[in-house]
Structure 1
Amino acid sequence: MHSSAVFLIEFGAIILGLGLLGRLAARLRFSPIPLYLLAGLAFGEGGLLPLGASEEFVAIGAEIGVVLLLLMLGLEYTAGDLVSNLKTQYPAGILDAALNALPGAAMALLLGWGPIAAVVLAGITWISSSGVIAKVLGDLGRLGNRETPVILSILVLEDLSMAVYLPVVTALLAGTGFAAGSVTLAVALGVAGLVLLLAVRYGRHISRFVSTDDPEKLLLVVLGLTLLVAGVAQQLQVSAAVGAFLVGIALSGEVAEGAHHLLAPLRDLFAAVFFVFFGLHTDPASIPPVLLPALALAVVTTLTKIATGYWAARRAGISARGRWRAGGTLVARGEFSIVIAGLAVTAGIDSDLGPLATAYVLILVVLGPLTARCTEPLALRLTGRTARRTAVEAAGEAPAAEDSGAVLRDPDTVGRP
């Protein structure tokens, strides 16, 4: 009875604290993820007040949080969207992977962590935060801009890449041999391909089977199906997250909209618990030694993400202003980076990997919204000055008065505030 009371007190305090932190983040107009991570650091190993009775339940809640994050991500896309993005935007996806995964892999090798840690850190630095970026686009009123489909296409390709990447990482972390790892990857690719095929051809029938007018029954069926598939996928060493993502893709139409509406509060609750759980297993004292590498990675991958977005938007025929906006918007890292780091921490790959990932995400989840706002005006100001200086030197004349009218005309945001 006493342990039950302690559990209720601890877990209730966690949920209440997360709610207050979420309200604070909303008032400050930035993502609550860094506050959730800091809360975990404060109440975890080496923190101010370590938790005891509720830690096991928090661990289970964290697993559910990962599953719901990926399910909701899958509900955002249809199989047709994914196939279309693969056909049209795959060059941008390849460039994105090359520019942003390689710095993470190089850093892990430079630190002497070995090839498996290099694969893990490559994923952490590669994947942008879909949740943070979607919120930033909405807050800045850019959902209708011409560069936004380019941004979303890159995010879709990153999310789809996880269906391949996560099984590979899971096999590597499990220490399976080459043959077993190849079988795991083949199973993952086969399942992903089969689900996409079924979703394209029979998505309406699947959605009709799940569909119901009763919100309670829809919630139970979708949640139960997701947890079941996620559990089977994890049993097959494919990754529970990939299983949940594929369930989301298979659902479409009114079922997807209804499930999204019903599951959004649950997703937010358990996702917050997940970020806290990751912080709980990171000793705050372990962060300062890896702060410099994390900061260096943040600087490098901020520049590489901006370059990725700029190139992809330029390829799509977007103006210079839209290219810089696209690049600055893609900088934020968040939920996926922590999911990948969490797998490595659980497997005990390297004691410094978790702290470095925490510091890296803390930096970029705060910096991301700032780069989304400031990259465009800062870049245009610098490039404008450079262009004027070059023209003046070439003509041998004194600088002319600045004509801001040409700068302000942006065809990508015509008619928008």
Structure 2
Amino acid sequence: MHSGILLIEFGSIILGLGLLGRAAARFRLSPIPLYLLAGLAFGEGGLLPLGASEGFIAAGAEIGVILLLLMLGLEYTAGDLVTNLKAHYPAGLVDGALNALPGAAAALLLGWGPVAAVVLAGVTWISSSGVIAKVLGDLGRVGNRETPVILSVLVLEDLAMAVYLPIVTALVAGAGLLAGGVTLGIALGAAGLVLFVAVRYGRVISRFVSSDDPEKLLLVVLGLTILVAGVAQQLQVSAAVGAFLVGIALSGEVAEGAHTLLSPLRDLFAAVFFVFFGLHTNPASIAPVLLPALALALVTAATKIATGYWAARRAGISVKGRWRAGGALVARGEFSIVIAGLAVSAGIEPSLGPLATAYVLILVIVGPLTARFTEPVAMWWVGRRTAARKPEESRQYEESEAPVADR
């Protein structure tokens, strides 16, 4: 009887997510806000709270996080990461300063303490690579000159995650200074070792994993990823970081094949993850933090635009391209929820989950709009100001050229 209810509940959730995804695709929107809303509807205080399937959904959500980071790692080779780090690290520093500090300041102003401040800093810092990539494709900007700048900022954020996640994991677990330092040292050592092995022996690893049979390739890559993620979790590093490093270590045809095979699984379990996060957020708890979330969204949307503008300007991109780069970086999504989920699971601050949910809902909807309209609005404003200055400049010029007797 219990298993029958579990299947009914889980099947209904998957079917509902599929229909929501189709609805989002029709309007060319990200499905993430719809998945979060579905979780709110089925969670505590929602319209139809779940019972039997919650534990199963929790396991699926953990797999979703692992697959999200694995697929992210598959996007880059170790050489690409090293090159981007050397060439664009100033943009990464500006990005972190402009976008992490507002989140940390907001948490401290709300009286949530230093651990919540570190968590909320990550929530406001990391842009959504998935949403941004989709928006760039929909707008036909993949070949634009500013697109490599956008991607370099995203890559640097992904690299920072490999250091940031272990720090957050140690903090939310209540580890002391010594234990936290050991955890961070293990994470950095593991990341450095994987990057070194991937650069020197990436082809050997890929050859070992490679298979002409898609079924065997899928099983080996998925099994290896979950195994490494589990080992990383046991070492108190982060399962997500372990998955990310596995993705980096694979390259060439193996990475392409794994990406193709794992994409549907990633989408399925990532959707389950967003639902699970929503399940643990009471809709009634969002109302008290809605205004702080909206204020934080407005501030960090502006700081992301400034980040993109500065990075594109540094790369020699035209003014229009600078505004497009800034507008494209505004969306937050999957990784903001992943970071907030660590704190929610540890019970750090009850209001952090609702605020993060509201914040992501706002910016995952606003992000595609800023990507589309920031550049034309900015150019319209610049043109208006230029037109307003011209009569004044003309009048000053005429006065300066007038005869002395007429002055």
TM-score (norm 1): 0.95
Instruction: Provide, for residues 315-349 of structure 1, a one-character-per-residue CA deviation record: whole Å limited to 9, x for no partner.
Output: 00000000000000000000000000000000000
Q: Matches of 2:299 and 2:324 in 1, distance apart?
A: 18
Deviation of 1:388 after TM superposition, in Å, equals 2.1
**Secondary structure at the counterpart of residue 332 of structure 2:** coil
In structure 1, the residue matched to 2:401 is none
Q: Matches of 2:155 and 2:10 in 1, distance apart?
A: 35
In structure 2, the residue matched to 1:181 is 180
Within 5 Å, which residues of 2 pair with 1:64-83?
Answer: 64-83=63-82
Q: Matches of 1:290 and 1:331 in 2, distance apart?
A: 21
**Secondary structure at the counterpart of residue 317 of structure 2:** coil
**Secondary structure at the counterpart of residue 316 of structure 2:** coil
In structure 2, the residue matched to 1:96 is 95
The answer to whether structure 1 residue 149 and structure 2 residue 148 are counterparts is yes
Deviation of 1:197 after TM superposition, in Å, equals 0.6
Q: How many residues align?
A: 397
In structure 1, the residue matched to 2:204 is 205
Within 5 Å, which residues of 2 pair with 1:13-412?
Answer: 13-396=12-395
Amino acid at match of 1:314: R
Amino acid at match of 1:335: E
Deviation of 1:389 after TM superposition, in Å, equals 1.5
Instruction: Provide, for residues 272-331 of structure 1, a one-character-per-residue CA deviation record: whole Å limited to 9, x for no partner.
Output: 000000000000000000000000000000000000000000000000000000000000
Instruction: Provide, for residues 341-369 of structure 1, a one-character-per-residue CA deviation record: whole Å limited to 9, x for no partner.
Output: 00000000010000000000000000000
Deviation of 1:74 after TM superposition, in Å, equals 0.3
Q: Matches of 2:93 and 2:389 in 1, distance apart?
A: 34
In structure 2, the residue matched to 1:10 is 9
Deviation of 1:397 after TM superposition, in Å, equals 8.6
Amino acid at match of 1:148: T
Q: Matches of 1:199 and 1:212 in 2, distance apart?
A: 19
**Secondary structure at the counterpart of residue 31 of structure 1:** coil
Amino acid at match of 2:108: L
Instruction: Provide, for residues 58-110 of structure 1, a one-character-per-residue CA deviation record: whole Å limited to 9, x for no partner.
Output: 00000000000000000000111100000010000000000000000000000
Deviation of 1:384 after TM superposition, in Å, equals 1.2
Instruction: Provide, for residues 6-34 of structure 1, a one-character-per-residue CA deviation record: whole Å limited to 9, x for no partner.
Output: 00100000000000000000001010000
Task: Return the index of the structure with the highest Cα Rg.
Answer: 2
**Secondary structure at the counterpart of residue 318 of structure 1:** coil
**Secondary structure at the counterpart of residue 41 of structure 1:** helix
Deviation of 1:390 after TM superposition, in Å, equals 1.7
Q: Matches of 2:312 and 2:387 in 1, distance apart?
A: 24
**Secondary structure at the counterpart of residue 187 of structure 1:** helix
Amino acid at match of 1:98: A
In structure 2, the residue matched to 1:401 is none
Q: Matches of 1:100 and 1:46 in 2, distance apart?
A: 32
Amino acid at match of 1:44: G
Deviation of 1:396 after TM superposition, in Å, equals 1.7
Amino acid at match of 1:6: I
TM-score (norm 2): 0.97
Q: Matches of 1:238 and 1:3 in 2, distance apart?
A: 36
Q: Matches of 1:392 and 1:312 in 2, distance apart?
A: 34
Instruction: Provide, for residues 240-296 of structure 1, a one-character-per-residue CA deviation record: whole Å limited to 9, x for no partner.
Output: 000000000000000000000000000000000000000000000000000000000
